[in-house]
Structure 1
Amino acid sequence: MRQARWFALLLFVGLCAPALAVSVATRLPSTLSQGGLVVVQLKPGSQLNVAGKPVHVGEDGVAVFGAGRDEQGPLMVSVVGSDGHQQNTRIAITPRDWPIERVNGVPPATVNPPPELAARIEREQAAVATARNRDDNREDFLGGFSWPVQGHISGRFGNQRIYNGEPKAPHSGMDIAVPQGTPVRAPAAGIITFAQPDLYLTGGTILLDHGFGLSSNFLHLSKLEVHVGQHVSQGQIIALSGMTGRATGPHLHWGFNWFGVRLDPLLLPGIVAP
């Protein structure tokens, strides 16, 4: 159920400035951090375009969008009200520093998979991408977010990864070091859209859809406690942590997406950095 404070606020998650209260007029941020999320209350019936692409607006006027790790900006945002009036906003993107993370002791076959596994990996990644593209009218994200586990952050979103001395893609989420078998709880309510116990690179993998293209992903799990199509509540146990797939020790990888755009879980509403 929507919390009243979310309905009354225009939330700029990942901004330097705090959230601003609004009444009727549309308010959009002037700046947004790389990896940040915007949750905005527009007038019902409005249309929203971000960087020239239409963005889902709920019947109640709620909309979300985000800036990826490498977004340079500015983001050009336009809002067209039900009366046809158009408001254009230019959002500057605040750059971040991305430290290098060196991860050693990774099984070589997961750093550079053998050619005969290429088709499997491509098939698995395509299935995950399809689940991330789900878009519906549920607003589970409006309940805010909580930590799926409690532990030391051992890997941060966006940092450049070097596995066994070999540069690879930036880290797409946040790693939290926890013992094997730690219960993983849903950070927000949602519907399970993907649940597989043994993907080659990510091992036990779950995607939890929160509505409007926002989804959490949980990787390297040792046991899955949910199934596709299941609705879960915030705080419900969905899995046990592990070290399956490309991992050197037990931990939980928590990633967050707006469709295909990877965002920083630490910038979500309700999440406070330890």
Structure 2
Amino acid sequence: MTYKKLLTLLSICCFSSSSFAFLPQNSLRAGGIAVLPISEDVQQVSFQNMPVLLTHEAQKKYAIVGIPLSTPVGSVKVDTDQGPIHLDIQPYAYAEQHIQLKDQSFVEPSAEQLARYKQEAEEQQRIYHSFTPSTWNSFPRFIAPTPGKFSNSFGRKRFFNQEARAPHSGLDIPAPVGQKVVAPANGTVVGIGDYFFNGKTILVDHGQGLISMFCHLSEIDVTVGQHVIQGERIGLVGKTGRVTGPHLHWGMSLNDARVDPQLFLQK
């Protein structure tokens, strides 16, 4: 690789958090997104052995990398066919959330419930590992899937009945049961289910490893394989699964990393 190309690749590490047209907001933190300008010569990009989304905006090429919530602070490497890119992951203070559940089985599931959860998790994980061609020429503009005030719950360290659990990997939008949920961008429905923890759930594939997830629904109005367009109704807000009240859990997965959905919305 030439010195000029190396400079082009490494220069992105100095970018501060920002947004590019309809591209996601750049946020170099665990649970964030790296928006990396790259040379047209770069054809393949991967992060932690997962392929990375590539797109164009304003005649420039970008790699859009999801950073898992488990990523430690410090330098991490994004691999490309033109050489590695090093990112400096910054500290980010996520809040804690203490939740009291009446149904103890959602805290300490039985063996049968654990077996069910394992099967459901594997089913969802296969979707998160998928990588399909995109159906757009430039990165799509995302909209919120339902009206409501965001709870800023993404990334919270959660405690259920005083017992620590994994950080919250989605954004909760409090809303009444029956409120409409729409597709935030065009995509294909790749999964539906009534899961132990997530309740009634829809997964939509937007292309190149970018997956939307909608949980705790009261109603599912789509089928697997159905193409949906932005703003189209896909279901209704509910309180199914492990919840303390009605709301929509909106999750976004990018190269199998659960990232903050708010980073896809324009400020």
Give the C-alpha shift of residue 190 in structure 1: 0.7
TM-aligned CA deviation for residue 186 of structure 1: 0.9
Amino acid at match of 1:246: R
1:36 aligns with 2:32: yes
Q: Does 1:194 align with 2:191?
A: yes
Is structure 2 residue 78 aligned with structure 1 residue 77?
yes
Structure 1 unaligned residues grouped into runs of 5+: 1-11, 22-29, 81-85
Residue 78 of structure 1 contacts residue 88 of structure 1 at CA under 8 Å; is this kept in 2?
yes
In the aligned structure 1, how far is the partner of 2:250 from the partner of 2:90? 23
- Structure 1 distance, partners of 2:20, 2:179, is 38
Partner of 2:153: 156
Amino acid at match of 2:95: P
1:121 Cα deviation from its structure 2 partner: 1.3
Query: C-alpha root-mean-square deviation of aligned residues, in Å?
Result: 2.7
1:64 is the counterpart of 2:61: no
**Other-structure match for 1:218:** 214
Preserved CA contact (<8 Å) 1:56 1:63: yes
**In 2: Cα distance, 1:247 partner to 1:46 partner:** 44
Report the CA distance shift for 1:157/1:212 in structure 2 as closer, same or farther (over 3 A): same
Deviations 1:46-91 (A, max 9, x none): 23444563635659765432111221241223443xxxxx354321
**Higher RCO structure (Cα 8 Å, ≥6 apart):** 2
SS at match of 2:115: helix
Query: Does the Cα contact within 8 Å between 1:255 and 1:265 map onto a contact in 2?
Result: yes
CA distance in 2, matches of 1:263, 1:93: 14
Among 201, 225, 228, the residue aligned to 1:205? 201
User: Identity over the aligned pairs, expressed in percent?
Assistant: 34
C-alpha separation in 1, matches of 2:219 and 2:49: 38
CA contact (8 A) 2:50 2:256 kept: no
In the other structure, the counterpart of 1:261 is: 257
- 1:167-178 to structure 2, matched below 5 A, reads 167-178=164-175
Comparing 30-39 with 224-233, greater Cα deviation is found at 30-39
The alignment partner of 1:206 has SS state of strand
Q: Distance in 2 between matches of 1:52 and 1:70?
A: 12
Could you list the per-position Cα deviations for residues 239-259 of structure 1 after superposition, in whole angstroms to 9, with x for gaps in the alignment? 101000001110000011114
Match runs of 1:1-274 below 5 Å: 16-19=16-19, 32-40=28-36, 42-44=38-40, 46-51=42-47, 53=49, 55-56=51-52, 63-72=63-72, 73-80=74-81, 86-140=82-136, 142-154=139-151, 156-196=153-193, 198-270=194-266, 272=267
Aligned-partner SS, 1:47: coil
The AA in structure 1 aligned to 2:190 is: T
Alignment TM-score, normalising by the size of structure 1: 0.79
**SS, match of residue 168 in structure 2:** coil
1:224, distance to aligned residue in structure 2 (A):
0.2
TM-score, length-normalised on structure 2? 0.81
Per-residue CA deviation, residues 121-153 of structure 1 (Å, 9 max, x unaligned), is: 111111111112221111458112111111123
In 2: Cα distance, 1:42 partner to 1:246 partner: 42
Q: Distance in 2 between the 1:189 and 1:126 partners?
A: 25
CA distance in 2, matches of 1:52, 1:180: 39
Q: Give distance in 2, aligned partners of 1:266 and 1:250.
A: 20
